[in-house]
Structure 1
């Protein structure tokens, strides 16, 4: 049975993904070991001020409207590393209602344009989930796997909370809330 907006399994999988991320956040905050590969960290850089970040995106704006587009929801979990680097995973329903995932590493650049709370985050990794008949909706797709680079601009409105806008190439913009822990 295909994933559609009427399929209750879709909502259940997203709820399960959110619960798994929320359940993992306290464990990440308490354990001293890292889950990201050590080569991603900048040697000699100070430790990050927080262990990780959980993000939730309830809305995506598509550049071009299509009757095929479905509501996109995303949950992501990042681990912060020395040198403002990070790695993480996001689970989401793509624009066509298919369950999808993105595993990535990235860099955050704080103090954009001299504004201490403004930042840019750039991630690169492997995207999975755009399957037939939508495999041509992302470039270089092979059996549902494709490379991705996602830049984002964010604003840290409290020490733990941020709003971010992710640029999804020629597809659109994703709006998300991030909570540090």
Structure 2
């Protein structure tokens, strides 16, 4: 079931703009940034997550995450992610968020984002590993700091609550 849910979320993000304009969770989808210096989509991949605590170290598995986001007007975005959580469970995250393209004027390569949404996947014996978990669904807020290597390629660090940080690469297209 989690993989099907994730596939539906990812398909929704990749949907054609005329269909997606009706998706209320992602208003303005069909009005993606008009100027040529903007990119319509971001793909993110993470091969590594570092956990702050060794409390559950025996249960932790390698976290692999893939996501796609759509840039919206007014420095907003929305998207979906499929990942294997740190307990080896297939999981998904549907989100919307905000981008600060240059929060530090002295370092124009640095950017920040924050996303908020619903995560699904912490079930069974691991249901208490995320707060406010109802039937495997839990609200999530994820702040990110990124560094642009080129206009299309960036490296990112995402803070996963009090549990971990995720390292990855983002590609804009």
- Tell me the TM-score normalised to structure 2 length: 0.81
How many Å separate the matches in 1 of 2:33 and 2:167? 30
1:47 to 34, 50, 53: 34
1:78-132 C-alpha deviation (Å, 9 max, x unpaired): 0011111100000000010000000000000011221221111100000000001
Would the aligned equivalents of 2:122 and 2:129 in 1 still touch at CA under 8 Å? yes
**2:100 aligned residue:** 109
Does the C-alpha gap of structure 1 residues 24 and 169 become closer, same or farther in structure 2, counting only changes over 3 Å?
Answer: closer
Shift of 1:35: 3.1
Q: By how many angstroms is 1:34 displaced?
A: 7.0
- Tell me what 1:59 maps to: 48
Is the 8 Å Cα contact of residues 45 and 83 (structure 1) preserved in structure 2? no
For residues 18 and 109 of structure 2, the distance between their equivalents in structure 1, rounded to whole angstroms, comes to 28
Query: Alignment partner for residue 98 of structure 1, among 89, 92, 112?
Result: 89
Alignment of 1:164-175 (within 5 A): 164-175=156-167
Q: For 2:169 and 2:43, how far apart are their aligned partners in 1?
A: 8
Number of equivalences: 158
Superimposed CA distance per residue, residues 47-95 of structure 1 (whole angstroms, 9 cap, x where no aligned partner): 3611101110000000012110000000000001111110000000001
Which of 12, 35, 39 matches 2:20? 35
**RMSD of aligned alpha carbons:** 2.7
| Deviation at residue 161 of structure 1 after TM alignment | 0.4
Residue 86 of structure 1 is matched in structure 2 by 77
Q: 2:135 aligns with which of 133, 138, 143?
A: 143
Please state whether the residue corresponding to 1:69 is helix, strand or coil. coil
Q: CA deviation at 1:24?
A: 10
Q: Partners in 2 of 1:45 and 1:137 — Cα distance?
A: 36
Aligned-residue offset at 1:33: 4.0
